[in-house]
A and B are shown apart, each in its own frame.
Chain A
């Protein structure tokens, strides 16, 4: 079965600084990949999903972007962080044979 790796686990960044969160997948090929954000005390918001290399769909307009340079690599980025970007970011993957598997998340605090 697939395993989702995310890092770092926690991150504190000042407002206006750049962001790069990385996610890699093991145990499957050509997965669908997803970035979710979970704000404190709230549910999951789908930010981006990708069905293949270089293919990114954005669900909500925002200060973030995503890229998929390799089949099993998914990156979440920002050029300038805002306070409202704080939250818990989860990477997930799914393929035709299995439902979503999640990584352990990155806790981002923008100060």
Chain B
């Protein structure tokens, strides 16, 4: 079945550091890929998405590129802020938006 593997957290960075959160996937067909963010005590918000190979999703300074050859969708940001502290989930859906498979989430803590 479909699966998503994320790097274990927590990740602790100083403000303005470079962020990478790794995500790899296994899926049949051609999945769409997503990053969701969950701030403390809240639901998940869609951060960015990519629907086909080589697409780059971007939002709020975050980027991720759909790499079919390495089955990866790593999340990056050039300079993190304290307000980016949250849990980040990589996810995929294959065959429309019927069911979404999530990774286990990576907690990011940014310290001033």
Which residues from chain A sit less than 8 Å from chain B, CB to CB? 4, 6, 32, 34, 42-44, 46, 49, 51, 90, 92, 94-96, 98-105, 107
Given A94-B97, A95-B97, A96-B97, A44 and B43 contact (CB-CB distance below 8 Å): no
* Chain A residues within 8 Å of B36, by CB: 100, 102
Q: Tell me if B98 and A90 are in contact (CB < 8 A).
A: no
Residues of chain B at interface, number, CB under 8 A: 22
Contact among B42, B100, B102 with A99 in the assembled complex (CB-CB below 8 Å): B100
Tell me, yes or no, whether B77 is within 8 Å of chain A by CB.
no
> Could you tell me the dominant secondary structure of chain B's interface residues?
strand
A-B contact pairs, 25 of them (CB 8 A): A4-B43, A34-B100, A43-B89, A43-B102, A43-B103, A43-B105, A44-B44, A44-B89, A44-B102, A46-B100, A49-B99, A51-B98, A90-B43, A92-B100, A95-B97, A99-B32, A99-B49, A99-B93, A99-B97, A100-B36, A101-B46, A102-B36, A102-B43, A104-B43, A105-B41
Tell me, yes or no, whether B29 is within 8 Å of chain A by CB.
no
